Amino acid sequence: MDLTRRELLKTSAAAATASAVGITIPAAALAKSKEADAGVQWDKAVCRFCGTGCGIMVGTSGGRIVATKGDPDAPVNKGLNCIKGYFNGKILYGKDRLTQPLMRMKNGKFDKNGKFQAVSWDVAFDEMSKQFKKTYQAMGPTGVGVFASGQYTIPEGYTMAKLMKAGFRSNNIDPNARHCMASAVVGFIQTFGIDEPAGNYDDIEHMDAAVTWGANMAECHPILWARVSDRRLSNDNVRLVNLTTCSNQTSDIADTEIVFKPGTDLAIQNYLLREMVKRDAVNHDFVKKHCVFSTGPYDIGYGMRGTDKYAFDAEKDIQAKELRITLDKDEAIAQRRKEGEVVEQKNTKKPVKHWMITFEDFKRGVEPYTLDFVAELSKGDADEDLAAYKAKLVELADLYADPKRKITSFWTMGFNQHYRGSWVNEQIYAIHLLLGKHAQPGNGAFSLTGQPSACGTAREVGTFAHRLPADLVVFNPKHREFSAKLWKVPAKTLNPKVGSHITKIMRDLEDGHIKWAWVQVNNPFQATANANHWIKAARKQDNFLVVSDPYPTVSAKVADLILPTAMIFEKWGMYGNAERRTQAWRQQVAPPGEAMGDVWQGLEFAKRFKLKEVWGEQKVPGLKAKGYDDGKLPDVMAEAQKMGYTPEDTLYDVLFANKENRKVKWPDAVAKGHGNHIAEKLGDGWFPEKALFDEYRQFGVGHQHDLAEFDVYYGDKVRGLKWPVINGKETQWRFNEKYDSYCAKGSGFDFYGKALKKLPSGNLDKPTSKDKTSLAHKAKIFFRPYAAPPEQPDDNYDLWFSTGRVLEHWHTGSMTRRVPELHRAVPTAQLFMNPNDAADRGLQRNDLVWIESRRGKIKALVETQGRNRPPKGYTFAAFFDKGVFVNKVCLDVTCPMSKEEDFKKAAIKVYKA
C-alpha cells in the first residue's frame, strides 16, 4: 500500500470514529475522508454475533466486503464495536467455506458409512426427501425433527416453523436458543403472562445502581458494558455490584464483587426478599394494585431422563435423583423440612403448575433466609472472611431497598443455564416488583440475551416445540384456530401435542423416537451437554442427519448430508435483539459457489411434498386433545379441497408461493440496487423475505406484539424499532402507562400479558381450592425455595466445572475461529483454575491435563492467571474450541420448567495428562 493511500485511510478511519462518537472535526479532514471512501458502497446492517444487536455499516467494493464500522446512528452501540463485531466482514471469508452440497457416498449412491462427496442440489434434495418420507410414513410427524436457531433471520425462522407446523404437522422444531434463554422466557410468561423485557438499554443511562447476576458483561456484552462503565465513571453516586461464582473482568470495574457458591443465588434472592419484608421496604401500594403472590411444587426433578437405560454406569447415581432425592441440611432449612428426608419427585411432568398464596404465606416462605443462614450457605470463596462477606450482602440489600435509588438487574447464562433457571428468573422479578422498581426508566430487571435473534426469531416467531408466533402456543385450541386461519390451512392441520425440546430431540435420536433431523444455523453436536451420547446417536445406522452450514463444524462432521449455506450479509435478513428492537439488512454480496440461504433451502424442500403426502391421517403417539381422536391427527384433505387446494398441490404452493405472497414482487424498490440470490434463484417473481415477514407480522398486530411493515425497517433513518410499534412509534417501557399505549387508562402500570392469568389459591405446600380466580392486569411475585444442585463436587470428582464464552470467540467458534486474528488471540480453551488447586495436584500453568467427569474426559491446558480468577474448588473452560470439547464433560440436567441445560455446574477431577 502506498504512503498516500495509507495516510488517506487513516484520515478516513479517524473521521469515521470521530463522527461515530459525535466529535466535530475540521472540514478538510472530512473532505479527505470522503475521498478515501470513493468506490466503497456503504449500507446499514446488524452484527452477526450476540443479542446486543449493535448496528454496523458494511462497506462493499467489487462484490466483496472490504470494511466495516460501528454505525454512528445506531442507538445501541453509538458507533462502537467490540472485537468480534469488528470482524463481521471477515467471517465470510474463511478458507474452508463450504460451497457445494456434500453427501456420504459409496458406489455412486448414499451410504451412511461412505465418505463425503460433492453432489448437486437436486441429488441432495432427492436423498433428503426420500429419507424424510421413509421416516414420516413409518413414524408420522413425531419421527422427524429440526434443530432450529436463535441465529435464524426472522424470515428463516418463520419459513421453517410454518413448514414444520402447518406443512408436516410436527412440533419437533426447537432452537439452540432453548439452551440460551428458555428459563428467561418461563420467568416472563409465569410472572407477566407475556414474553420479553419491560425495559430497554436506555435503563443504563437512567440507573443509579446496576447488579449483574451470573453475567460476565465485560466479556460477553462488551458494548453494553462500555455504556454501564461510562455511566459509572461519569457519576460518583452510581454503584455496580457483580454477583458471580468466579472473579472475572466484570469485577474489575464493579464497586463490589460477591463470589457465591454455584446454585446459591436462589438463597441470596430469598435473603433479599426477606430483608425487604423485615425492613418494610415493600412498596405496598404498587404490590396491592399490580401484583399477587404465588408458589408451586418443589419436587419437580432435574430434567433428566426418568430411566437409567441409556446412562453410562458412572452417570447412574446422578440420574437416580430424577426420581428421588435426600434433602441436605441447607435444603431442609430452606424448604422447612427435615434433613435426610427422602423426597419423591412427583411433579416432574407438571413442574410449571402454580397457585396463589397470601402475603402472610410469602413471608413465612422467606423467613428461614436469615443473613447468617444465607451467608454461610452461599459464600463462594473459602478464603474470604465471613463477616466481610455478610457486609456485602447487607450492602446489596441496602442498594435494592433504597427508595431513592433507581436500580437495574442484569443477568444471562448464570441464571438461565441453571437446574432451577426459571425460579431464579422469577425471583429477580419478585425483588423488583416487591419494591415497585420495575418498568420505569432505570428501574427494572433486564434479561440480556446471547444470540442475535433469540428474541426476534426464536421467541417472537416461535420456533419452539410448544410455540406459534406472537406468544401463541400449540396446546391452546383458540391459538391453533387463529394460526390455521391466518395460514389458510384446515383448522385441524396443526398438531396440539407439544413436540420435543432440543435436548429431547438428541435423546430421541439416541432412543429411536426421531430418525430424521435437520440442523440449521447452529452446531448442536458441539453445543449440547453430555455430547458423547449425541455424537453416537447421530451415527446410528438408521438415523439420517442433514446439516446446513457454511463451515465444517462438529455437527457437519457427524452429518450424512451437508448443505452449503449463505452467511449473514449474503442474504436479506432481520434480527430482533434483547430490548425488543427489530433490525434489518439487505444482501450485500452474493454467496460463494453454490451456497444458498436457509430460506431457499426450506422453500426448495417444501416443493418436494404434495398435500396428499402430509395432510392425510397421521399417527401421533400420546396425543390427547379435545376434538381429536387419541393418538392421531385427522385427515384434513377434504377440508383442504373445500378451501380450493388439490391433493397434488405442493407445500411450496400452499404455504409459501401462494396467491397473496406472489403479489409481493421481486425486484422491489426497497432493494436500492442490492441483489437477492434467493428470489433470483427461485425465479418465479416473488420476494420471499418481504412477503413472509408481512404475513408473519399479522400475528402480532393488535395483539400486543405489533411490528411495523417490512419496508419501514429498511428506511434510511431507521435503526430498528422496539415493538410494540403503534402508529409507527416504538414502545420504550412496556407495562408503564406513560410509555405503553396497551396500558389501560388511569392504571399507572398494567401487566396486561394474557398467559396463565387464572389461578387456584393455596398455601405454601399445595393448592387448597379448585376454583380459579382471574388476575388479569397483574404480575406474580413468586416464592421459590433454595434447592441444592443435583451434582456437586465429592471425594472423587472434587472440583466444580463451568463453561461459557470468552470475548474473542462466539459460541462454538465456527465463525470466529475462521478469523485468523481472533483464533490466534485465543487459540484454545484453557482450564482456568485457582493456583492453590493446581499446586495441590502438582500442576503448573500450561500443563496439559485431563478433565474428567462421570460423562467423559477431555484434555486442556491449565491457566492459573489471566482474566478469570476462580476461587478454590472452582474451574472454568470456554466451549468455543472443538479440540477441547467441553460438552463431553458437561451435565445434561435441565431446568425442569424451561428444559434449558445447566452448563454451569458439573463435578470434575483434574489430573496430569
Partner 1 sequence: MNISGILVIVAPENVDSTVETLNKLDGIDVHHIEQSSGRIIITQEAESVHDEIDGLKRIRELPGIVLAEMSYHNFEEDTENVSSIPEELDDESLKTDNIPPYLNE
Q: If you count them, how many residues does the chain have?
A: 913
Q: Is 29 in the site for partner 1 (CB under 8 A)?
A: yes
Q: Which residues of 627-640 are buried (b: 16+ CB within 10 A; e: fewer)?
A: ebeeeebbebbebb
User: Smallest distance, Å, CB 17 to partner 1?
Assistant: 3
Point out which span in 46-54, 264-272, 715-723, 815-823 binds partner 1 (CB under 8 A): 815-823
Q: Is 565 in the site for partner 1 (CB under 8 A)?
A: no
Q: Which residues of 834-871 are buried (b: 16+ CB within 10 A; e: fewer)?
A: bbebbeebebeeebebebbbbbbebebbbbbeebbbbb
The 3-class SS string of 594-605 reads CCECHHHHHHHH
Q: How many CB atoms lie within 10 A of CB 828?
A: 14
Nearer to partner 1, 83 or 352 (CB): 83
Q: Is 87 in the site for partner 1 (CB under 8 A)?
A: yes
Q: Is 277 in the site for partner 1 (CB under 8 A)?
A: no
Q: Is 138 in the site for partner 1 (CB under 8 A)?
A: no
Q: Is 312 in the site for partner 1 (CB under 8 A)?
A: no
What residues numbered 870-889 form the site for partner 1, per CB under 8 A?
A: 882-883
Point out which span in 257-265, 397-405, 673-681, 821-829 binds partner 1 (CB under 8 A): 821-829
Backbone region of residue 717 per phi and psi (left: phi > 0; alpha: psi in -120 to 50; beta: other values)? alpha
Q: Is 94 in the site for partner 1 (CB under 8 A)?
A: yes
CB 462 within 8 A of CB 158: no
Of 82, 413, 743, 833, the active-site residue reads 413
Q: How far, in Å, CA of 213 to CA of 205, rounded?
A: 19
Q: Is 102 in the site for partner 1 (CB under 8 A)?
A: yes
Q: How far, in Å, CA of 340 to CA of 325, rounded?
A: 9
Q: Is 97 in the site for partner 1 (CB under 8 A)?
A: yes
Q: Is 912 in the site for partner 1 (CB under 8 A)?
A: no
Measured in degrees and rounded to the nearest 5, phi and psi for residue 28 equal -65, -40
Nearer to partner 1, 82 or 318 (CB): 82
Q: What share of the chain is helix, strand, coil (3-state, %, to 5)?
A: 35, 20, 45
Q: How far, in Å, CA of 778 to CA of 792, rounded?
A: 38
Sign of dihedral through CA atoms 295, 296, 298, 300?
Answer: negative
User: Smallest distance, Å, CB 41 to partner 1?
Assistant: 13
Q: Which residues of 183-197 are buried (b: 16+ CB within 10 A; e: fewer)?
A: bbbbbbbbbbbbbbb
Output the nine-digit C-alpha cell for 244: 458471580
Point out which span in 12-20, 275-283, 400-408, 765-773 binds partner 1 (CB under 8 A): 12-20
Please name which of 284, 265, 266 lies closest in space to residue 276, comparing C-alpha atoms.
284
Q: Write out the H or E segment, with its range, that includes residue 823.
A: helix 820-825
CB 383 within 8 A of CB 417: no
Nearer to partner 1, 227 or 854 (CB): 227
Number of residues lying near partner 1 (CB under 8 A):
70
Q: Is 861 in the site for partner 1 (CB under 8 A)?
A: no
Q: Is 34 in the site for partner 1 (CB under 8 A)?
A: no
Nearer to partner 1, 236 or 795 (CB): 236
Q: Is 30 in the site for partner 1 (CB under 8 A)?
A: no
Point out which span in 78-86, 269-277, 378-386, 781-789 binds partner 1 (CB under 8 A): 78-86
Nearer to partner 1, 87 or 415 (CB): 87
Nearer to partner 1, 67 or 907 (CB): 67
User: Smallest distance, Å, CB 599 to partner 1?
Assistant: 23
Point out which span in 171-179, 453-461, 554-562, 787-795 binds partner 1 (CB under 8 A): 554-562
Asked if 815 is an active-site residue, the reply is no
Q: Is 96 in the site for partner 1 (CB under 8 A)?
A: yes
Asked if 413 is an active-site residue, the reply is yes
Answer for which of 556, 603, 833, 907 binds partner 1 (CB under 8 A) is: 556
Beta strands in 368-412 (DSSP E): 407-411
User: Smallest distance, Å, CB 93 to partner 1?
Assistant: 10
Please name which of 143, 199, 207 lies closest in space to residue 517, comparing C-alpha atoms.
143
Give burial (CB, 10 Å; 0-12/13-18/19+) of 118.
middle
Answer for which of 35, 111, 122, 230 binds partner 1 (CB under 8 A) is: 230
User: Smallest distance, Å, CB 79 to partner 1?
Assistant: 5
Q: Is 233 in the site for partner 1 (CB under 8 A)?
A: yes
Nearer to partner 1, 79 or 187 (CB): 79
User: Smallest distance, Å, CB 166 to partner 1?
Assistant: 34
Q: Which residue reads 431422563 in cell numbers?
A: 305
Asked if 576 is an active-site residue, the reply is no
Nearer to partner 1, 84 or 734 (CB): 84
Answer for which of 340, 593, 631, 866 binds partner 1 (CB under 8 A) is: 593
Strand partners, 147: 174, 519
The alpha carbon torsion through 779, 783, 788, 789 (nearest 10 deg) reads -10
User: Smallest distance, Å, CB 569 to partner 1?
Assistant: 15
Nearer to partner 1, 731 or 816 (CB): 816
CB 588 within 8 A of CB 677: no
User: Smallest distance, Å, CB 507 to partner 1?
Assistant: 26
Asked if 792 is an active-site residue, the reply is no
CA distances from 477 to 205, 487, 525, 682, 711 (A): 43, 15, 35, 35, 33
Q: How far, in Å, CA of 18 to CA of 24, rounded?
A: 7
User: Smallest distance, Å, CB 120 to partner 1?
Assistant: 14
Contacts of 15 (CB under 8 A, 6+ apart): 25, 29, 30, 32, 33
User: Smallest distance, Å, CB 14 to partner 1?
Assistant: 4
Q: Is 81 in the site for partner 1 (CB under 8 A)?
A: yes
Please name which of 544, 587, 550 lies closest in space to residue 566, comparing C-alpha atoms.
550
Output the nine-digit C-alpha cell for 442: 432505570
Q: Is 89 in the site for partner 1 (CB under 8 A)?
A: yes
Point out which span in 379-387, 389-397, 792-800, 820-828 binds partner 1 (CB under 8 A): 820-828
Point out which span in 113-121, 672-680, 683-691, 701-709 binds partner 1 (CB under 8 A): 113-121
User: Smallest distance, Å, CB 523 to partner 1?
Assistant: 13
Q: How far, in Å, CA of 52 to CA of 446, rounded?
A: 12
Q: Is 839 in the site for partner 1 (CB under 8 A)?
A: no
Answer for which of 51, 53, 55, 70 binds partner 1 (CB under 8 A) is: 70
Of 54, 128, 164, 181, the active-site residue reads 181
Asked if 1 is an active-site residue, the reply is no
Q: Is 16 in the site for partner 1 (CB under 8 A)?
A: yes
CB 765 within 8 A of CB 347: no
Contacts of 322 (CB under 8 A, 6+ apart): 301, 302, 303, 304, 305, 306, 345, 348
Q: How far, in Å, CA of 538 to CA of 555, rounded?
A: 9
Q: How far, in Å, CA of 703 to CA of 716, rounded?
A: 28
Answer for which of 73, 75, 99, 641 binds partner 1 (CB under 8 A) is: 99
Answer for which of 41, 73, 83, 473 binds partner 1 (CB under 8 A) is: 83
Contacts of 649 (CB under 8 A, 6+ apart): 610, 611
Asked if 139 is an active-site residue, the reply is no
Q: Is 52 in the site for partner 1 (CB under 8 A)?
A: no
Nearer to partner 1, 254 or 637 (CB): 254
The residues assigned a catalytic role are: 84, 180-181, 413, 450-451
Give residues in contact with partner 1 (CB under 8 A): 1, 6, 9-18, 20-21, 23, 25, 29, 61, 66-70, 79-83, 86-87, 89-90, 94-100, 102, 115-118, 222-223, 226, 229-230, 233, 552, 556-557, 562, 592-593, 808, 813, 817-825, 827, 882-883
